[in-house]
Structure formats: structure tokens, C-alpha cells
Amino acid sequence: MTAEPPTPDEPRDFVRYLFWKLRPEARRDAPEERSRRIDDAVRCLESGPPELRLRTYSLVGTKAGPQGFLWMIAPTLEAFQALEASLWASRLGPVLDLTHSYLGLARRSEYLGGHSHPGQESGKVRPTDRPYLFVYPFVKKREWYGLPFEERRRIMAEHMQIGHRYPSVDIHTAYCFGLDDPEFILSFEADRPAEFLDLVQALRPSEASRYTALETPIYSGIRVPPRRMWELAAGLP
């Protein structure tokens, strides 16, 4: 038995995680100029393409390098392009650097069968708006794809069963094959960081984990409004 591929016209969301940091000179500006830059950037985010869904997260206090990221969901790539172009044209653009970007496409998991697992059941992405989002690229060892499909489904069934022990952690999987460097980009929404840590630890002994080739870097995002995301990086109270 082989997996059934999605039909070409099945509605599916594109997903992009865009990581950024402000240049040091952005924090040397007078507070009034920093506020004006942020006002302009917030207008860009609030007036983006109507079909684009956006969530904003701060990495200040959790990660060296990038200071925040945008989680974007849209039916077309052009929506991402329009939003990013508007940021470059804003007053914040000259002091803004992009550090990482991950692009993927949602789809129903081929391993579900009759199994129910929220976040894996369709090509539509449905954020639950919990206060923390943990994001990382994911690559499997090539040996994984050499296993018979039914064997992979058996292994993934155990993986999903472990996930069901943590119902307050919501998974979002985007497939990157042919679109970006990793194979998948994963994100997990949680009410408390400890819940996600415990889930990751519980998955370590699973059979599926033997086939993991890459699951770093990991980004621990704190959900904040757009204005606060920029203010934290710009050194504004």
C-alpha cells in the first residue's frame, strides 16, 4: 500500500516563518524616531494583503541573533511577497535585517489513516493563539523513505499517540520539499513552555526519533502584538 497524494486542486495554505533583527543603530536613535519607525512598520503589518493571516512573536530574552518573527499563513506566495516588500519600504526597512526564513505548504498527513490528530488532518492551518510558539526546521534520515509505507505508518502511530498525552500542545506541520531547504517546518503552540519540553522529552525514546537527522535551530517565541514586538527589540519601554 502507498500513501494517497493530495489532489492538485485541494485547498492548501502556504506557511512562512520570517525571522528578523534590528541593527544596533536602531537603538541609538532618539526615542521619538524609534517610535516613528515602529508606527510605520505596524501600519505595514496591519494593512497587509486581506487574505494573509499574521501572528507576531518576540524572541527577546529567549534567543541570541533574531529578535522576533512573523508567522504568516496565506493561500498564495504573492501575499508574503507583498507584505515583505512593504516592510522594506517602511521607515523601519533601513535598520531591519532578516536572519532566517522558512517556507512550507500544509497538507493532510499521509500517516493518519482513520486516526484523528488535530493539526495534521487538512491543508488548512488553524492557529489556536496560545501564548508560546516553538518553531524548528525538521529533516528525516534518508533511510526513513526506504521503509515500506505501512511500516512508516505504524511507527508514526506511536509518535502520534505520545502527542495525544499533551492535548494543550498544538502542532502545525508544513511541508517544505521543493520549496525550501528543510523537509518540514514544525511549530507547536503551548500555554506553558514546560508542556512542550515534556512532550519533546517523551518523544525521545520513540522509534520515529531514530530517523531524525535535523531538528535545529529551535526558536521559542512569546506571542505579542505587532507594536510590542518591535518595541522590545528597539529598546522602548
Q: How does pLDDT run along the chain (237 residues), one tens digit per residue?
A: 455 555 666 789 999 999 999 999 999 999 999 999 999 999 999 999 999 999 999 999 999 999 999 999 999 999 999 999 999 999 999 999 999 999 999 998 888 755 554 555 568 999 999 999 999 999 999 999 999 999 999 999 999 999 999 999 999 999 999 999 999 999 999 999 999 999 999 999 999 999 999 999 999 999 999 999 999 999 998
* Residue positions counted in the chain: 237
- Backbone phi, then psi, for 185, in 5-degree steps? -125, 120
Q: How many CA atoms lie within 13 A of 80 on its CB side?
A: 19
pLDDT of res. 8: 62
Question: Within 10 Å of residue 145's Cβ, how many Cβ atoms?
Answer: 11
pLDDT of res. 3: 52
Q: Which residues pair with 14 in a beta bridge?
A: 74, 105
The C-alpha atoms of residue 162 and residue 152 are separated, in whole angstroms, by: 16
pLDDT of res. 10: 77
Comparing CA positions, the residue from 151, 158, 148 lying closest to residue 209 is 158
Model's pTM, two decimal places?
0.92
Q: Which three cell numbers stand for residue 93?
A: 526597512
Q: Which three cell numbers stand for residue 109?
A: 498527513
pLDDT in tens, 151-184: 999 999 999 999 999 999 999 999 999 999 999 9
Hunting for cell 516613528 — which residue is that? 36
What the chain holds in terms of domains, given with CATH numbers, is 14-103 (3.30.70.1030), 105-221 (3.30.70.1030)
The C-alpha atoms of residue 213 and residue 183 are separated, in whole angstroms, by: 10
Q: Quick check: 139 and 182 in contact, CB under 8 A?
A: yes
